[in-house]
Structure 1
Amino acid sequence: MNLFDFEGKRPTVHPEAFIAPTATLIGDVTVEKGASVWYGAVLRADICTIVIREGANVQDNSVLHGAPDAVIEVGPGATVAHSCILHGGVLEEKALLGNGSTMLDGTRLGAGSMVAAGSLVSPETQIPPGVLAAGTPAQVKKPIEGTMAQFWVDANPPYYAELAQRHRTGLKPA
């Protein structure tokens, strides 16, 4: 695990969180119980604060950073999927930022909502709870209830929690 102090700010990681050995956490980062930060992810809180709440997951090659004094929060059970950029945004509980998507400063993804893969959430955009948003710029498309998107929002947190425990115990240098 690559943890770095920066100007007196130090990452805090709960002992029951999983941080992949190639993930990098810098500065004012907090990772709560049962959360996971996966391979190649970079959480750079040199000028901002980053909080990964209980059971949340930040997947491979994602980058989290923000403007000075911003608070970036990945809520309980929320997902930042593979190769995302989260720059100054907030994901509420069980929200899902789809693969390769970007959320910019001042954005908020409501509880149980999903941003489709490859989308761009423009600065200051507020996506309400329980919807699917997509596009560049991302716009609300429909309620998520009863869709395949809801399946991913619901299935992802327990799946990644279990997979993180397997990596905690089963990962060995080859």
Structure 2
Amino acid sequence: MPIYEFQGNTPHIDSTAFIHPLASVIGDVRIEGGCYIGPFASIRGDFGTIVIGEGSNVQDNCSLHVGHGRRCELAPASHVGHGAVVHGAFLQRNTLIGMNAVIMDDAVIGESAIVAACAFVKSGWEVPSGCLVAGIPARVVRPLEQDELRGKVEATRKYQDLAVACLSTLREVKNGSGDQSWKKLSA
């Protein structure tokens, strides 16, 4: 996996975090234990600091970045869906950012809040805890139901389990290595 030091800042990655080999981690980044970072995620701490809290997941094709001298932080159990962009924002504990959502600088996503897929959270907006927000720009749709909150926790737990499974079982299969087991699925 490409992990790069930048201007003397080396990423710090807990040994229990899984970073997919096709993800990119640059500079002033801290990834805590039990995290899952998916393929093609870009986590660029070149201008400022990025912290990904324990048990969080950043899924395929996500971008995390931050402005000069600023901070982007995902509190523990944050869940960032496929293709989302989080730029200089703060996600409180147990949040879910839907697929292809965009979260801008200085936005705060309240604890146990869900940002719907494709939503745009403008700079500086504070999303209330325990609410669903959606739209462009995002607005509060309603408070979340208890079953939705439980479902979010369960989904995040599945990614925590996936991090453990990937650390122990994910192996690249080389074509032409003599092992043709990968062909069995198509036969």
| Interval of TM-score (by shorter of Structure 1 and Structure 2) | over 0.9
- 1:155 Cα offset (Å): 1.5
**Corresponding residue of 2:170:** 171
Between structure 1 and structure 2, the one with the greater Rg is: 2
Q: What is the identity, as a one-letter code, of the residue corresponding to 1:154?
A: V
**Corresponding residue of 1:113:** 113
CA distance in 2, matches of 1:66, 1:31: 15
**Corresponding residue of 1:25:** 25
- 1:102 Cα offset (Å): 0.3
1:107/1:122 contact within 8 Å kept: yes
CA distance in 1, matches of 2:152, 2:139: 18
Aligned positions of 1:36-75 closer than 5 A: 36-75=36-75
Q: What is the identity, as a one-letter code, of the residue corresponding to 1:155?
A: E
Gaps of 5+ in 1: none
Aligned CA RMSD, in angstroms, stands at: 1.0
Deviating more after overlay: 153-162 vs 38-47: 153-162
**Corresponding residue of 1:143:** 143
Higher strand share: 1
- 1:99 Cα offset (Å): 0.5
CA distance in 2, matches of 1:144, 1:23: 32
Q: What is the identity, as a one-letter code, of the residue corresponding to 1:81?
A: G
2:36/2:162 contact within 8 Å kept: no
- 1:35 Cα offset (Å): 1.1
1:113/1:153 contact within 8 Å kept: no
TM-score normalised according to structure 2 size: 0.90
1:24/1:42 contact within 8 Å kept: yes
